């Protein structure tokens, strides 16, 4: 029997929907959403582009580039959201406060949000900001999955060691519901694991073909 993978099909036809500078500008709060969060420059936009086979999200060598909540539609009920990177020191303070306020408002109030993908650079994991996000996920009960990005920058062994170390730290401090994997955008490493998480949260589990 042939098995269809609906998440792959939907990701391949993802379309940019809207950039919201404030929570009030977000699409109506209905359906299913998965948001991509992480420190500035961690590789959020690159991961999104790799998963959607498109250059939907702007990537940049300059940290702090994604300044708004960017929504990408998969279908009428499902969206992926590229969140502004946190922790970029050179952003002017008023702008920083503006993002933080709206990011917090989005995270704290969004009914459609079903899970958070947290990206950490495999070479610099578990920053204070990452820990703050882990605390928030635990306190709010929001499902979280971590991508250790840029795995291609380390040898296989070193990347695997970091994975095990961070996994153990997270289990001890935040419980075992948070899942974690290695990811590389240029090598397209870790796609299947990430798709499986998206499919679960977006309620698009594999179904036998009709
Ligand atoms: N080698 C390698 N480089 C990567 C990977 N992911 C991202 N990068 C690079 O890291 C830089 C930042 O990537 P972005 O995807 O723009 O990061 P971001 O988290 O969206 O950054 P902000 O929007 O500024 O918060 C870019 O130069 C990317 O090309 C990866 O898996 N491997
Ligand atoms: Mg970005």
Tell me, what's the pLDDT at 26? Answer: 94
3-state secondary structure of 92: coil
- Predicted confidence at residue 23, as pLDDT, reads 85
Residue-level pLDDT at 165 = 98
The segments of the chain whose pLDDT lies below 50 read none
| pLDDT for residue 6 | 86
Whole-number Å distance, alpha carbon 65 to ligand 1 midpoint, is 10
Ligand 1 centroid from CA 142, angstroms: 25
| pLDDT tens-digit map of 180-189 | 999 999 999 9
Which class for 68: exposed (0-12), middle (13-18), buried (19 or more C-beta within 10 A)?
Answer: middle
pTM: 0.90
Q: Is 150 in the pocket of ligand 1 (CB under 6 A)?
A: yes
Residues 6 or more apart whose Cβ sits within 8 Å of residue 127:
39, 87, 120
CA 1–ligand 1 middle distance (angstroms): 39
13 φ/ψ sector (left φ>0, alpha ψ -120 to 50, else beta): alpha
CA–CA distance from 186 to each of 83, 150, 156, 199 (Å)?
A: 21, 8, 15, 22
Residue 174 tokens read as: 């935040």
Residue among 33, 27, 192 at smallest CA distance from 116: 33
Kindly give the pairing relationship between strand 78-82 and strand 69-75.
Answer: antiparallel
For a mutational test of ligand 1's pocket, the pick from 19, 37, 41, 118, i.e. the residue with the most ligand atoms closer than 8 A to its C-beta, is 41
Q: How many CB atoms lie within 10 A of CB 41?
A: 23
Full set of structural domains in the chain with CATH = 6-202 (3.40.50.300)
Q: How far is CA 176 from CA 61, 97, 142, 180, in A?
A: 34, 32, 13, 10
Using one digit for the tens of pLDDT, what is the confidence trace for 8-22? 889 988 998 888 888
SS3 state at 121: strand
């Amino acid at each position: 029997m042939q098995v269809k993978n609906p998440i792959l099909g939907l990701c391949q036809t993802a379309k940019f929907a809207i950039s919201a500078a404030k929570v009030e500008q977000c699409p109506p709060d209905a359906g299913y959403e998965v948001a991509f969060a992480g420190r500035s420059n961690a590789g959020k936009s690159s991961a999104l582009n790799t998963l959607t086979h498109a250059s939907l999200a702007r990537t940049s060598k300059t940290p702090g580039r994604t300044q708004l909540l960017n929504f990408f539609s998969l279908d009428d009920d499902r969206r992926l959201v590229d969140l502004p990177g946190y922790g970029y020191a050179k952003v002017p303070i008023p702008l920083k406060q503006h993002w933080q306020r709206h990011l917090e408002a989005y995270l704290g109030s969004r009914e459609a949000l079903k899970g958070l993908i947290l990206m950490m650079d495999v070479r610099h994991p578990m920053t204070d900001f990452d820990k703050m996000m882990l605390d928030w996920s635990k306190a709010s009960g929001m499902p979280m999955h971590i991508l250790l990005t840029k795995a291609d920058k380390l040898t296989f062994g070193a990347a695997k060691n970091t994975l095990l170390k961070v996994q153990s730290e997270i289990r001890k401090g935040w419980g075992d519901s948070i899942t974690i994997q290695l990811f590389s955008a240029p090598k397209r490493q870790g796609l299947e694991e990430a798709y499986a998480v998206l499919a679960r949260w977006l309620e698009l589990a594999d179904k036998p073909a009709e």
